[in-house]
Amino acid sequence: MMQWEQFEKFIVEVMEKEQIPGVAVALSKNGQSIYERGFGTRNFETNEPVTPETIFGIASITKSFTALAIMKLAEEGRLQVEDAVIEHLPEFQLVDYADIEDIKIRHLLSHTTGLATMERKEQLTKFDEHLHYLNEKAWSWVGKPGEYMCYNNDMFLLLGAIIEKITGENYQSYINNQIINPLQMTRTTYNLLGLQSFENVTTPYVLEDGKPVACPWPTLGNYAVGGGIRSTVVDLLKYGNIYVDVLERNIVSRAYTSQMAQPVHQTNGKSFYGFALQTTPNYSAVTLVEHGGGQPGVSSNFGFIPEKGIVAVVLANMSGVSADAIWLAAVNTALGIPIDQKRNTEPEFEMTKEQKQRVLGTYISAEGSQVDISLEDQTVMATIDNKTYTLRASNETTLIIMPLEKPIRFFIDEKNDAWALFIGLRMLVKSR
């Protein structure tokens, strides 16, 4: 257990600094648990402790379940990822867009449809309502299908509609019957009402005026396809075993699960997005494959190292906290490498005054995100969610958020002016 003492010290420091109420961590190797522990509380008022069996939201880790179901249908020969979306959903139409057949299933899986992030409509609960919503008006585009990556939950949820169309079964029932139940994930559910029948469930928290405040679970509607599962770290280890070949009867063969981790689009210096999974190849001679999630009251990170048979999960009951950093520290500990090693170290670069000038402005997405890039005494600053960070350059189009070491990449047009930026898997377009 010696090697985990440093990790536990690290996690306690992060929780104190970020005021995280509760965190659960679990890792397995070749199907055997090597570490499971809860930290902190699931509810400040009752002060009940987090355990490895505590249920949290998992947010966008859900996307890999949906992608896995699509790969299962591909393996069964019922679809191909190269199929046009319209082939399975003839009612999928977009105003002012003639080349609808250019949008393929693989573009939905990898967030590369070319459509910018859209305004969320969580009140929509049926896929035909959503298809109607998508056809109501002309949307903003960032490029042609396959050209850019821009996280788009409204496009991703169409995968749920495709699953229903092909199987004739309700999306959530299909995931339950084909993935969750066969793996005996008995503390995993999409159903918010069903959550009430479970013991040991977290209360979600958001940070308001510098203090954690309890908040309701988001209702999600159709967005459950990309974020609706609530689960435990123990159950997610069972799920992760699909990807590291330790199950006697695998739900989807390695030939198809490995396609999910194939790089489709570069997200930063060393990492790539695939089909609902992000991959960092050549990380200390192994491959990191992972996906994070965030919702009101949820921060999560799940992933695996195929070469080592390691699966790792971190769940927290507060939004906007460093679940990914805790996850990496846990993985580093399991690998026996320095706990503070990063996925990617960005170089130092000195931007010219002109290069700084062209990135200044306000960048927005229809989901409600906003990033303001400004200049103070020749230092570039970013204001994100009312917090201001100092930036440093790593090349002529990339600035790094200090001290988080997270990159913001800028896209430059033919007039040599930035027109969009890429941050946290989303493209935000300059408004002024």
Q: What is the largest CA-CA distance in the chain?
A: 62
In degrees, to the nearest 5, what angle opens at C-alpha 186 toward C-alphas 180 and 189?
A: 65
pLDDT at 247: 85
104: Cβ contacts below 8 Å, ≥ 6 apart:
81, 82, 83, 84, 85, 145
Token pair 């070469």 in the structure block, residue: 307
Distance CA 353, CA 369 (A): 27
Same domain, 357 and 425: yes
pLDDT at 1: 54
Q: How many domains does the chain have?
A: 2
pLDDT at 164: 98
pLDDT at 2: 60
Distance CA 22, CA 20 (A): 6
CA distances from 196 to 55, 175, 202 (A): 11, 21, 11
Same domain, 409 and 298: no
Same domain, 171 and 246: yes
Residue 103's nearest CA partner among 59, 63, 154, 137 is: 154
Task: Please give the structure tokens belonging to residue 296.
Answer: 């009101």
* Residues in the chain with pLDDT values less than 50: none
Token pair 């890429």 in the structure block, residue: 422
pLDDT at 284: 94
Same domain, 91 and 226: yes
Same domain, 384 and 330: no
Find the domain containing 404 and state its range.
353-430
CB–CB of 118/139 below 8 Å?
Answer: yes
Same domain, 7 and 102: yes
For the CA atoms of 282, 289, 324, 123, the dihedral, rounded to the nearest 10 degrees, stands at 150
CB–CB of 8/224 below 8 Å?
Answer: no
- pTM of the predicted protein model: 0.97
pLDDT at 385: 81
Q: How far is CA 262 from the centre of its chain?
A: 16
